[in-house]
Structure 1
Amino acid sequence: MRNWLKLTVLTAAIGITACSSSPTGRNQILLFSDQDMNSLGAQSFEQMKKDQKVSTDTKTNAYVQCVANSVTRYVPKQGFTDWEVVVFDSKQVNAFALPGGKIGVYTGLLKVAKNQDQLATVIGHEIAHVLADHSNERLSQTQLANTGLQITSFAIGSSGYAQYQSATMAALGLGVQYGVLLPYGRTQESEADIVGLELMAKAGFNPNESISLWRNMAAASGGGQPPELLSTHPSHDTRIKDLANEIKRLPNYGTSRPNCS
Structure 2
Amino acid sequence: MSNILNEHFSLTGKVVLITGASSGIGEQLARAAARAGADVALAARRLDKIEKTAADIAAETGQKVIAVKLDVTDGDSVTACFDTVEAALGTVTVVGNNAGMAIPKWALEDTEEDWDRTMNTNLKGVWRVAQTAAKRMADAGVGGSIINTASILGLGVSPQQTTYATSKAGVVHLTKAMALELGRFGVRVNAICPGYFVTEINEEFLSSDNGQKMLRSTPARRAGKLSELEAPFLMLAADGASFISGVALPVDACHSIKLVGG
What TM-score results when the alignment is normalised by the length of structure 1? 0.26
What TM-score results when the alignment is normalised by the length of structure 2? 0.26
Higher Rg: 1
Higher strand share: 2
